[in-house]
Amino acid sequence: MTSTIETGSSIAGQTFMPSYDEDAAPAVPRQSLGRTTIDEKFVRIGTWASAFGLAWLLTQRLLPLPGLPWFLIMWFAAGLAVTAVTGLLTGGMIEVRDRVAGAVVTVGAMLVAGVLVSALAFVVMRGWRPLPHLNFYIDDMAGVGPKDPFTDGGILHAIVGSLIEIGIGVAIALPLGIGTAIFMTEVGGAFARVVRTVVEAMTALPSIVAGLFIYTVFIVALGYPRSGLAASLAIAVMMLPIIARAADVVLRVVPGGLREASLALGSSRWRTVWRVVLPTARPGLATAVILGVARGVGETSPVLLTSGAATFLVTNPTDGVMNSLPLYIYTTVRSGEPVAITRAFAAATVLLAIVLILFITARLLARPKRTKRSRSGRRFTQAPGLVGTNVVNADPLTEMGPVAPRDDLAELYPPALNEEIP
């Protein structure tokens, strides 16, 4: 209210608008309404602390329920009960329901995380003892008995076998898979729809059946011996539909505008695919392929039927039996000897490390590029209503899922009409 009367002005008693600086900082710092207050934090932490005590009392003193699992279960149940009671103290049933649901969801997610961590930690803890010995990585198991100490023998043959088998498998499945995906998305036509239907159907093929197919055709019918090549073929048959499907999903979310722009500038279809579509989809393709490879490396069942387990180093895939990491783990665990089981866990640790390296590579390749325009670290925002999968951070798991964005549907029905479709 800065109204001053200017003398000399012809109009007396003129009112002035209060000046308001929109860019000025607020006089008082704004209170954040969404943040949890210190009271709420206390209640939240205190709830689970008191539930911890209750669970201890119930399982260790009152009820005959020994063991860690029962303690965790009782902790969860008591935590929910205390959450409900504290919710009831401050609000009504709606508050209680909100808090209990939040607790259940959070505990469920933490349980899953705990399971993952327990599996990784368990394997490493059971199998760390052979790992410091260098011979574990540069020696094979030829002439090494199941009871021999860890200073003898190693898993070089399994590591090399795994790498050779997956290498040949990828060399077969990758060009065919990505070529098929290009055919399905970029060429199209009635025949492409047939191929897409068959490929999608074959993703349902259990890996053991793929192995049995190669075993029947390659080994029984054609009479070749068990070899690394047969195992590679089984892995390729298993991976081909998966890679084709995943690459198809990734290529389909390349914006059509990019293709049209390239074609409108006069480039041919081939150059459009090579210079526009594939470079755009490169990170997504890399993710899909590497995760497919990670799955192929860890798959035991096709290898179990086709390669046979050698105890010595074999580098020629056509030359008889060849071992691989999953198969080595399986056969060694089956022997039942404690020393051998520890070796199997150590091999599982190595397998996990390989999968982890592949996984991290995939993540690094798929990492969204930082653009200069995006500020404040919010890189994942995308306009609602656009396709659900971003090309760059396309979810690698939905490669197998049916939630691929149906751009053919989106073209038929513009978004505004979507609600009317029954």
Partner 1 sequence: MTTLPVPDASTDVRPRKISRKATGADAVFVYSARAVGATVLVITGGVGLFLGWQGYPTLKHYGLGFFTEVSWQPDADILGIAGVLSGTIEVALVAMTIAFPLALLTALYISEYAPAQIKATLVSLVDLMAAVPSIVWGLWGFFLIMPHAAYFAIWLQRYFGWIPIFDVKGADPNAAVPDLSRYAASMFCAGIAVAMMVLPMSCAVMRQVFSQTPEGEKEAALALGATKWGMVRSVVLPFGRGGIIGGAMLGLGRALGETIAVLLILSPSFEIKPRILEVGGNTVSSLIAGRFGDASKTQLSALLAAGFVLFLLTLLVNTLAAVIVNRSRSGAGTDA
Of 178-197, which residues contact partner 1 (CB under 8 A)?
A: 179-180, 182-184, 186-187, 191-192, 194-195
From CA 161, how far away is CA 90, in angstroms rounded?
A: 63
The distance of closest approach from Cβ of residue 193 to partner 1 in the complex, given in angstroms and rounded to an integer, is 11
The distance of closest approach from Cβ of residue 7 to partner 1 in the complex, given in angstroms and rounded to an integer, is 51
From CA 361, how far away is CA 392, in angstroms rounded?
A: 15
From CA 248, how far away is CA 178, in angstroms rounded?
A: 8
Taking the CA of residue 155 as centre, how many other CA atoms within 13 Å lie in the half-sphere pointing to its CB? 28
C-alpha distances (whole Å) from 124 to each of 115, 130, 301, 359 are 14, 11, 23, 18
216 forms part of the interface with partner 1 (CB under 8 A):
yes
Is 174:232 a contact under the CB 8 Å cutoff? no
C-alpha distances (whole Å) from 143 to each of 127, 210, 282, 310, 334 are 21, 33, 46, 11, 19
Is 219:306 a contact under the CB 8 Å cutoff? yes
| Structural tokens at position 342 | 């520890």
281 forms part of the interface with partner 1 (CB under 8 A):
no
**Nearer to partner 1 by C-beta: 81 or 195?**
195
The distance of closest approach from Cβ of residue 5 to partner 1 in the complex, given in angstroms and rounded to an integer, is 45
Is 231:307 a contact under the CB 8 Å cutoff? yes
Count CB neighbours of 391 within 10 A: 21
**Nearer to partner 1 by C-beta: 268 or 318?**
268
With CB under 8 A as the contact rule, the residue among 251, 276, 304, 322 that binds partner 1 is 304
Q: Where are the beta strands (DSSP E) in 94-139?
A: none
Q: Tell me the angle at which helices 278-298 and 228-252 cross, rounded to the nearest 10 degrees.
A: 140
Q: Point out which span in 9-17, 22-30, 214-222, 253-261 binds partner 1 (CB under 8 A).
A: 214-222
With CB under 8 A as the contact rule, the residue among 63, 105, 138, 142 that binds partner 1 is 105
Of 8-67, which residues contact partner 1 (CB under 8 A)?
A: 67
From CA 278, how far away is CA 186, in angstroms rounded?
A: 11
**Nearer to partner 1 by C-beta: 41 or 271?**
271
**Nearer to partner 1 by C-beta: 107 or 144?**
107
**Nearer to partner 1 by C-beta: 227 or 301?**
301
Q: What's at 259, amino acid-wise? A: R
270 forms part of the interface with partner 1 (CB under 8 A):
yes
Q: Point out which span in 77-85, 144-152, 213-221, 250-258 binds partner 1 (CB under 8 A).
A: 213-221
| Structural tokens at position 184 | 């399905």
C-alpha distances (whole Å) from 292 to each of 100, 248, 286 are 39, 14, 10
With CB under 8 A as the contact rule, the residue among 83, 227, 280, 301 that binds partner 1 is 301
Phi, psi (deg, nearest 5) at residue 140? -115, -175
The distance of closest approach from Cβ of residue 3 to partner 1 in the complex, given in angstroms and rounded to an integer, is 38
With CB under 8 A as the contact rule, the residue among 215, 248, 317, 340 that binds partner 1 is 215
Q: How many residues bind partner 1 (CB under 8 A)?
A: 118
**Nearer to partner 1 by C-beta: 46 or 102?**
102
The distance of closest approach from Cβ of residue 258 to partner 1 in the complex, given in angstroms and rounded to an integer, is 18
389 forms part of the interface with partner 1 (CB under 8 A):
yes
Of 316-375, which residues contact partner 1 (CB under 8 A)?
A: 326, 329-330, 333-334, 344-345, 348, 351-352, 355-356, 358-359, 363
Q: Can you say whether residue 2 is alpha, beta or left, with left for phi > 0 and alpha for psi between -120 and 50 degrees?
A: beta
Is 358:296 a contact under the CB 8 Å cutoff? no
**Nearer to partner 1 by C-beta: 157 or 245?**
245
Q: Point out which span in 134-142, 246-254, 278-286, 404-412 binds partner 1 (CB under 8 A).
A: 404-412
Of 62-101, which residues contact partner 1 (CB under 8 A)?
A: 67, 69, 94-95, 97-98, 101
Query: What is the per-residue burial (b if ≥16 Cβ within 10 Å, else e) of 202-214?
Result: beeeebbebbbbb
The distance of closest approach from Cβ of residue 115 to partner 1 in the complex, given in angstroms and rounded to an integer, is 6
Binding mask 160-179 for partner 1 (x = CB under 8 A): ---------------xxx-x
136 forms part of the interface with partner 1 (CB under 8 A):
no
